[in-house]
Structure 1
Amino acid sequence: MSRREGSSPTGEFPAIRPLGGLPSFKVKLGVLVAVSVTVAAALAWVGVRSGLHPLVTIPAIVLVALVVTQILARGMTSPLREMTRAARAMARGDYSQRITATSRDEVGQLARAFTVMARDLEETDRMRRDLVANVSHELRTPVAALRGQLENLVDGVTEADPAALQVALSETERLSRLVDHLLDLSRLDAGVIRLDVQPIALTPFLHEVVDAASLAARAHERDVHWTIDVTPPDLAVDADPERIHQVIANLLDNASRHSPPGGRIRLTARAPEGGDDVVLEVRDEGPGIALADRGRVFERFERGGRPDGSGGTGLGLAIARWAVTLHGGTIEVVDDERPDGPAGRSSTIRVTLPRRPAAPGAPRTA
């Protein structure tokens, strides 16, 4: 909410700020006292020169000094009054209040800091509401499906055969993934995570991750094929195996959910010449991520800029970015080099990790 500079927050009276150009609140107070004393002394001198009785001049001097002080002080304290009104509005849940800060003194600095805080609180409150709404939606879908399936089994509508139980198991696994992701996010928001850094031989490690992803894909009847390419074959990196397993597993799960039937998912690892990094890439043959959405897919509950029915929680890529950042690395969507790839979209996600983190095993701030 913006206001025209120089107007009051209520629009009733103009915010007179004759001392607004002074850089310090202490200087303003000094000027205020000096002006008040000067006005009082001038009026006293005029009264004496005019021969007026003190009972007349003294009340007049006090009244005029109060008026001058009120005029000068109003501009000095108006941001404080605005902050009071804004704080009361924020207590009611209204974070849209903004403070008009035209002065350069300490009160003006406080007003600008208050406005920044109001914006941050507004964004935090929006994220909290979005989180509650998204989690409620994500929980409702598998819970409703699981409840419906169990009701059919209890009522005898559906036989308790392996196919029916597999449906219930799939929804239960989806709930379990969401709970696991939420627990990871709670660790992220806690701020400090300790990495158990150790050497990882990437060839056997990536085969192990792909084997687990392949089992999960078959359980969900996803017809995909996997390719692993590690160059050189003995490539290794110092990292936390559990966290890197989590990163690759989330990327592979994301790729398998968006791959067409019979699609191929390619996982590569290489060491660029002359560098101290290891580059991991996951590429699928799905519809890809639009250029405009490449930054947003790593936010919580984002799915390539659009909702889908693939069964994802919308948290996998956010958790992957968190784990990669803990290692001092980066994760991004890069241009797809497939000649037959969709125009303007990419299905390649690249993870860049330092071969040796700056402080192995030390606590990292998320």
Structure 2
Amino acid sequence: MSGPGNGSGRTSRNGTAAGGGSDAGGGFKTRPWSDLRPFSIKAKLGLLVVVSVFITTGLLMVALRTDTELRFITIFSVIASMLITQFVAHSLTAPLDEMTTAARAMSHGDYTRRVRAGRRDELGDLAATINRMAADLEAVDQHRKELVANVSHELRTPCAALRAVLENVVDGVSEADPETMRTALRQTERLGSLVEHLLDLSRLDNGVVPLHARRFEVWPYLSGVLKEASMSRSASVLASGSGNASRTDVHLHLDVSPPELTAHADAERLHQVVANLIDNAVKHSPRHGRVTVRARRGAAPESLELEVQDEGPGIPEAERHHVFERFSRGAAVNPHGPGSDGGTGLGLAIARWAVDLHGGRIGVAESPRGCRILVTLPGTVKPSG
């Protein structure tokens, strides 16, 4: 025998007492009735059975008291039960037909179809889920179309320029001199950069980019990133033959405090973040402007705060949440002046994804002048891969 409050002493696999166990309040509790809602399909079917039984019982009592033949009572009972069943079945199958039509439309690429979701039963929950799924699929489809259109637009420009240069050389309009070849080289490099950015984003989207976090000193690391950025700009000027393709007039400044500051992150991914932020800041800087890279300890233990600030026109507050989207380009005050070449619009998107891989945050911070991008890394990234 079991003691008081222990039920039968036997527990089923779903954690409820089998054989009529008691709950904490001493009341009887079974799993099927605990899931029953007032307007659920279970309740409606149960009500259908109860009503049919009451009708049949009532008609039998009438037959016994009035000496009515049993066959008439049976016919009336069957007709009444069928009418009630038809009413309940129609209320259940009509929403299913609507959902089937919507699902068939979505299978053919029409994600604008919605179903009514005002019911307070399982079918209402299913309708709301289908509407959410349709909205998500519509957003994904729209994003795919925009991505294809943007990629096509970005690839068309350098391809057309490269084709024009090569056609001029083939037709004898221009000679294959070093200047012409440098022009073709610039367009080829632009194509290569765009393809590399797209591949980076594809790897990030698919989650195949592992993090190899390690601890390193921030000052020599960022100093090397700035040096590479300066060398890259100088090499671009030599290849182009002019200063219009790259901004060598912008000064890069590094500010790390304290000097012995260390960080724990994936150095290669963090290099993508800083390099893209510097490239974006340089493009939008005024002539002889200054880009400052700051590094400080974060508020959380072992966290790191990085800032990249320029002296350009800045980003309007209404556009700050768009600048990290793919192919988004911040508005410039002078679209024909320095910084008018916004690039492909993928650099900040890659920076955001790299920061997200670290579990950090990136955003546009308030600044009295120019644009200030703030990156916060948690400092507790676990190595992977």
- Alignment TM-score > 0.5, same fold: yes
Q: CA RMSD in A?
A: 2.5
1:221 aligns with 2:246: yes
Q: Where in structure 1 are there 5+ consecutive unaligned residues?
A: 1-20
Taking the aligned partners of 1:293 and 1:243, their CA distance within structure 2 comes to 26
Q: How many residues align?
A: 334
Give the one of 345, 349, 355 matched to 2:373. Answer: 349
Matching residue's letter, 1:319 = I
Taking the aligned partners of 2:264 and 2:300, their CA distance within structure 1 comes to 18
Q: Where in structure 2 are there 5+ consecutive unaligned residues?
A: 1-36, 237-244
Task: Give the match for residue 11 of structure 1.
Answer: none
Matching residue's letter, 1:113 = T
After superposing the two structures, state which structure 1 stretch, 177-186 or 92-101, moved more: 92-101
Q: Is the 8 A contact 1:296 1:305 kept in 2?
A: no
Task: Give the match for residue 304 of structure 1.
Answer: 330
Matching residue's letter, 1:263 = G
1:188 aligns with 2:204: yes
Larger radius of gyration: 2
Q: TM-score, normalised by structure 1?
A: 0.83
1:242 aligns with 2:268: yes
Q: Is the 8 A contact 1:209 1:248 kept in 2?
A: yes
1:319 aligns with 2:334: no
Matching residue's letter, 1:362 = S
Pairwise CA distance, 1:47: 6.4
1:333 aligns with 2:356: no
Task: Give the match for residue 257 of structure 2.
Answer: 231
1:290 aligns with 2:306: no
1:208 aligns with 2:192: no
Taking the aligned partners of 1:305 and 1:33, their CA distance within structure 2 comes to 67
Q: Helix, strand or coil for the counterpart of 1:199?
A: strand
The 1:304/1:311 distance shift into structure 2, 3 A limit, reads closer
Q: Helix, strand or coil for the counterpart of 2:330?
A: coil
Pairwise CA distance, 1:205: 1.7
Q: Helix, strand or coil for the counterpart of 1:145?
A: helix
After superposing the two structures, state which structure 1 stretch, 236-245 or 256-265, moved more: 256-265
Q: Helix, strand or coil for the counterpart of 2:209?
A: strand
Give the one of 168, 176, 191 matched to 2:192. Answer: 176
Taking the aligned partners of 1:47 and 1:140, their CA distance within structure 2 comes to 87
Q: Is the 8 A contact 1:331 1:352 kept in 2?
A: yes
Matching residue's letter, 1:304 = G
Q: Is the 8 A contact 2:361 2:376 kept in 1?
A: yes
Q: What percentage of residue pairs aligned between the two structures are identical?
A: 51
The 1:274/1:239 distance shift into structure 2, 3 A limit, reads closer
Taking the aligned partners of 2:65 and 2:189, their CA distance within structure 1 comes to 95
Q: Helix, strand or coil for the counterpart of 1:280?
A: strand
Q: Is the 8 A contact 1:32 1:73 kept in 2?
A: no
The 1:312/1:47 distance shift into structure 2, 3 A limit, reads farther
Q: Is the 8 A contact 1:79 1:101 kept in 2?
A: no
Q: TM-score, normalised by structure 2?
A: 0.79
The 1:120/1:273 distance shift into structure 2, 3 A limit, reads closer
Q: Helix, strand or coil for the counterpart of 1:303?
A: coil
Taking the aligned partners of 1:239 and 1:133, their CA distance within structure 2 comes to 35
Task: Give the match for residue 153 of structure 1.
Answer: 169
1:267 aligns with 2:261: no
